[in-house]
Amino acid sequence: MSTRSFGARVERNVDPKLLRGEGAFIDDIPLANVLHTAFLRSPHARARIKSIDVRAAKQHPGVVAVYTCDDIGVLDMAMPLLIPHPCMKNPQTQRPLARDEVHYVGQTIAMVVAVDRYTAEDGAGLIEVEYEPLPVEMDMEKALAPGAPLVHEKAPGNLAAHFVQVCGKPDDAFARAEHIVKIRVQVDRSTAAPMECRAIAARWDAVSGELTVWDGTQAPISVRGGLASIFALDEDKVRVIAPDVGGGFGQKVLFFYPDELLVPMAAMQLGRPVKYIEDRRENFLGSSQERTQIHEIELAALKTGEVIGLRDSFLHDTGAYIPYGIAVAQVASTSIAGPYRIPNIWVEFKAVYTPTVQVTPYRGCGRPQACFAVERAMDQLAEELGLDRFEIRKRNFIGVDQFPYEREGLLFADGLKVTLDSGQYAKALGMAADALGASSFAADQAAARAEGKYLGLGLACYVEGTGLGPYEGGHVRIHPITGKVYVNTGLSTQGQGHDTVFAQIVSDQLGVKPEDVIVVEGDTKAFDWGVATFASRAAVVSGNAIHKTAITVRKKTITAAANMLEVAEDEVELRDGAAWVIGSNRFVPLAAVATASNPLRYAFNEAAQAATQFAPASKHDGPPLGEGTAPGLEATDYYSPPASTWAYGVHAAIVEVDPGTCAVKIRKYICIHDCGNMINPMIVEGQVMGGIAQGIGGALYERLDYQPDGNLANASFMDFLMPYATEIPDVKILHLETPSPLNPLGVKGVGEAGCIAVGAVVASGVEDALKQLGPMKFRHVPLTPTMISDALESVGH
Amino acid sequence: MKRTIKPSIPERSEDPLIEVSLTVNGEAVTRKVSMRMLLSDFLRHELGLTGTHVGCEHGVCGCCTVHIDGKAGRSCLTLAAQANGADIRTIESVATSETVLHPIQQAFKECHALQCGFCTPGMVMNILSRFEEPGPLDLSDEGIRDMLSGNLCRCTGYINIIAAVRRAGELTGRT
């Protein structure tokens, strides 16, 4: 290989299997004699459970077992609080099966195990529960008021957490401000809606005492730790496998969902494999959601447009529980100043319990809300000061020479001080303006107006702290028989192409084709040190761990090959799957080097003969395997980031609004994006584009419609509006590559980037399009036709 | 763990059975199955053809799309019993050979038109049915978007799928 694989548009290794329908998603894994489960879920948002009668369900033919909270032993407990934080007041987590009371519609009350799913659902339908419904308050602001109905009796005022962070001297800044803007913005609740719902299967082997769990999770190693702990099993006896997983977007990083504990329990008790395949309705009613926040944000500025202070007080809806701690709200708080210098910040949030599905990170994790707040405020400030929207941003950007830029007093999700490490914000803004044609837009807008069309320009910038610690590992081994390279890490993949980007990293070090690098992850028997796939961290943390490891294996390979070729190490190069003497046609294949590095007794193939005891090449002084050495070409290493590395971008769009139908059409969409060095631009663009599409969903369509009684009115793909191909415009994605100074590969994360700015861009564009019709403000997403209609009506249109 | 007496577990439910005979990927198949078994479950769990995925079970997402008598149909909205006598085609039959992908699959790979791959078989089966329909194929941007309007994808943002359909047009000589 003479060309570098890193940075190339390498097609994905995983694709042929998936395209042929040969993927192995959890429900595809054949398990002999598997039993199926169904859950009885609460139809009430708040109620006391007066009685549960499972007799009829148990007698139903084909039903094997019915579990309520009384039948699940040690599992009758509040599930773990994953990320404790001192600002939480008596944090509440869900119980696998409700005891005495329910806290949201969809909460699991009983689990039925049966010979097939149809029968299990029959059984669930036969369970009689007597409820005493309790009052609910669905409005987050009203829920905080004295006397509001409580989601948990133990959580007075429905307050789950209250936290204030201060950077600099915000009071002084506001005292000397020449202009202050204050706006209120709101983002409504959405859901990740991965195409594959959550799924779990478990098999208990009574002979080996091993529990195998197939879990469509983003965190197999962490799930393994939790299962071993809760079931009091040795870690080595619990194997968690996340096979092919059909999208995650954060929803699958939470553990535990009730089924993740109850299904393994049933498999152990019944001595048969058991599985639970969540259906779409259950995904809406039981799997984590995110986004609802209401921000009151103020900017203190000088007449020049320089923002010297920011105050933001926001409410964060955490749903009925807070198992993931304050992560979402904390990320929102620490991202609130975006790419701007703003040296003085006061940011406060209150996390509020509501009787709804629990809230945990969904792609973006608080960043879309923070971006929406600060970007809408910047637009307002520009308008009030008579400045161009591009110009005001340029005047406030952190300059290229100001990195690392610290926000003393703001602690990011990794517990470390917010430190933006690198970027070329102004350059990105300039690229966006050029690509959009911003300089001629005023004329275009006027011309369109003359034809009766309303065009608007939308703009927003974002930053994203990525590559969260604590660490990940990499294991690399050159296989002695095939010469292929095997790579392991502790993550799992949900479509991000780990198998290809990690292969590219290794390919460059070992001189093999990316398709000859086999990446195996998502299996605790393959590699079990590490954390999980979340927070745009895989390329940064596992990528660098694998890179470090591959360098070690490269050194070992060159040493061994130099010995075999009888030349100095600096005369050896690795390419085309072999070690070559530079400038000659002498080489040994990597397989042969790997074989020779492993002293053998048995010649299982021709290559192996050279490594057996009587072969000339095996002559050595001392023992066959030297003291302090290991057989084979193999290494394991780890990477622990010193801090998060901050990616960023600028999005701009031209939208058209039809004041008659109140429809919004995105005419042009530009994304300038910088995630440091790109391992595979094709995959980066795929991640960004997918994020933008989800962002468009959140900007215009997706809103979970909880009714005043707590029922979710649109718990299906019929009623929850997600974008199809017909809703997504062409998007122009342009890259900047500012290498991260924090890690050897110079990479930053990209998984969440695309979705962050879209809501702000769309609202900004719609406001601009309709400004001639009156002073309408759009500060609430999704921005529906009804909102536009109401706004038009408010200005007498 | 202490060994306990194994529970007595029946082999199957007491659902009434019905015999269905159909052709799947060119092979004749006869099975006795529950009258309420969905075609998607029949293909996946009775026949082991798990390439057909189930994403919503209410006919919206398109993951479960197969060909029923030559037309794209939702296997999650069809009972196995309804498919008695039908000619069914699934994703497992599409590739040209063990080593060569069908041009639509090849185009998906070249254009990075899949990420998690869960929606992909349904996408491919839907596009394939349109490519196999007699008459002209509308491969304009709008035509392709319309072609894809019955399939949800949550990963790609569709743009690369649109590009893949265009590329498949090139690979198959359709314009």
> What is residue A612's predicted lDDT score, i.e. its pLDDT?
80
**B143 located within any domain:** yes
Average pLDDT, chain A: 96
**B63 located within any domain:** yes
> What is residue B3's predicted lDDT score, i.e. its pLDDT?
76
Higher confidence at residue A183 or residue A90? A183
Q: Which residues of A touch B9 (CB under 8 A)?
A: 35, 64, 115, 270, 272
With CB atoms and an 8 Å threshold, state whether A193 touches B44. no
3-state DSSP of A130-173: EEEECCCCCCHHHHCCCCCCCCCCCCHHHEEEEEEEEECCHHHH
CATH of domain A33-134+196-286: 3.90.1170.50
Q: What is the DSSP string of A94-128?
A: --SS--SEE-STT-EEEEEEESSHHHHHHHHHT-E
d(C-alpha A231, C-alpha A260), whole Å: 12
The dihedrals phi and psi of A285, each to the nearest 5 degrees, come to: -95, -10
Q: Where in chain A is the domain with CATH 3.90.1170.50?
A: 33-134+196-286
- Whether A1 shows a pLDDT value over 70: the answer reads no
In CATH, the architecture of A289-468+642-794 is 2-Layer Sandwich (3.30)
d(C-alpha A48, C-alpha A55), whole Å: 20
User: In terms of DSSP bridges, do strands A210-215 and A47-53 run parallel, antiparallel, or are they unpaired?
Assistant: unpaired
d(C-alpha A87, C-alpha A161), whole Å: 6
**B160 located within any domain:** yes
Distances (CA, A) of A331 to A366, A596, A653: 6, 51, 26
> Domain span at residue B158?
103-171
Name the strand (E) or helix (H) holding A67: strand A63-67
Q: Is B53 within 8 Å of chain A by CB? A: yes
Q: A4-53, pLDDT tens digit by residue? A: 999 999 999 999 999 999 999 999 999 999 999 999 999 999 999 999 99
> What is residue A355's predicted lDDT score, i.e. its pLDDT?
98
- Whether A307 shows a pLDDT value over 50: the answer reads yes
Number of other CB atoms surrounding residue A662 within 10 Å: 19
User: In terms of DSSP bridges, do strands A633-639 and A454-466 run parallel, antiparallel, or are they unpaired?
Assistant: unpaired
Find which of A10, A58, A195, A717 to mutate to test the B interface (most B CBs within 10 Å of its CB). Answer: A195
Residue ending a domain, among B93, B127, B160, is B93
**B113 located within any domain:** yes
d(C-alpha B133, C-alpha B143), whole Å: 14
Q: How confident is the model at residue A625 (pLDDT cuts 50, 70, 90)?
A: confident
Say yes or no: B120 and B89 in one domain.
Answer: no
Q: How confident is the model at residue A572 (pLDDT cuts 50, 70, 90)?
A: very high
> What is residue A670's predicted lDDT score, i.e. its pLDDT?
98
3-state DSSP of A25-59: CHHHCCCCCCEEEEEEECCCCCEEEEEEECHHHHH
CATH number at residue B154: 1.10.150.120
Q: Is A209 within 8 Å of chain B by CB? A: yes
Residue whose structure tokens are 């100001």: A402
Outline where A214-290 has alpha helix (H).
220-230, 258-270, 280-286
Number of other CB atoms surrounding residue A144 within 10 Å: 16
Residues A91-114: what's their mean pLDDT? 98
- % of chain A surpassing 70 pLDDT: 99
With CB atoms and an 8 Å threshold, state whether A195 touches B52. no
Of A21, A245, A694, the CB nearest to B91: A21
> What is residue A619's predicted lDDT score, i.e. its pLDDT?
67
The dihedrals phi and psi of B46, each to the nearest 5 degrees, come to: -80, -40
**B5 located within any domain:** no
> What is residue A614's predicted lDDT score, i.e. its pLDDT?
79
Residue ending a domain, among B44, B64, B93, is B93
Q: Is A691 within 8 Å of chain B by CB? A: yes
Q: B103-153, pLDDT tens digit by residue? A: 999 999 999 999 999 999 999 999 999 999 999 999 999 999 999 999 999
Q: Counting Cβ atoms within 10 Å, is residue A586 exposed (0-12), middle (13-18) or buried (19+)?
A: middle
**B1 located within any domain:** no
What number of CA atoms fall less than 13 Å from residue B129's CA on the CB side?
A: 22
Of B48, B115, B152, the CB nearest to A722: B152
Say yes or no: B70 and B28 in one domain.
Answer: yes
Q: A473-522, pLDDT tens digit by residue? A: 999 999 988 899 999 999 999 999 999 999 999 999 999 999 999 999 99
> What is residue B45's predicted lDDT score, i.e. its pLDDT?
96
Q: Where in chain A is the domain with CATH 3.30.365.10?
A: 289-468+642-794, 469-639
Output the furthest CA–CA distance in chain A (Å, rounded). Answer: 97
> What is residue A3's predicted lDDT score, i.e. its pLDDT?
73
- Cβ(A6)–Cβ(A510) under 8 Å? no
- Whether A730 shows a pLDDT value over 80: the answer reads yes
Nearest CA in chain A to B99: A16
With CB atoms and an 8 Å threshold, state whether A494 touches B116. yes
Q: A518-534, pLDDT tens digit by residue? A: 999 999 999 999 999 99
- Whether A628 shows a pLDDT value over 90: the answer reads no
Distances (CA, A) of A514 to A208, A235, A545, A685: 37, 33, 17, 19
CATH number at residue B47: 3.10.20.30
Helix axes B103-110, B159-171, angle to 10 degrees: 140
Of A23, A717, A754, the CB nearest to B56: A717
**B10 located within any domain:** no
- Cβ(A728)–Cβ(A664) under 8 Å? no
Q: B43-101, pLDDT tens digit by residue? A: 999 999 999 999 999 999 999 999 999 999 999 999 999 999 999 999 999 999 999 99
Domain count, chain B: 2
Find which of B37, B116, B128, B145 to mutate to test the A interface (most A CBs within 10 Å of its CB). Answer: B116
Residues A644-659: what's their mean pLDDT? 97
Round the CA-based radius of gyration of chain B to a whole number and report it: 19
Residue ending a domain, among B93, B117, B137, is B93
Domain topology for A469-639: Aldehyde Oxidoreductase; domain 4 (3.30.365)
> What is residue B139's predicted lDDT score, i.e. its pLDDT?
97
Q: Is A279 within 8 Å of chain B by CB? A: yes
Of B48, B58, B110, the CB nearest to A716: B58
State both tokens at A652. Answer: 């701009």
d(C-alpha A672, C-alpha A430), whole Å: 10
Say yes or no: B25 and B87 in one domain.
Answer: yes
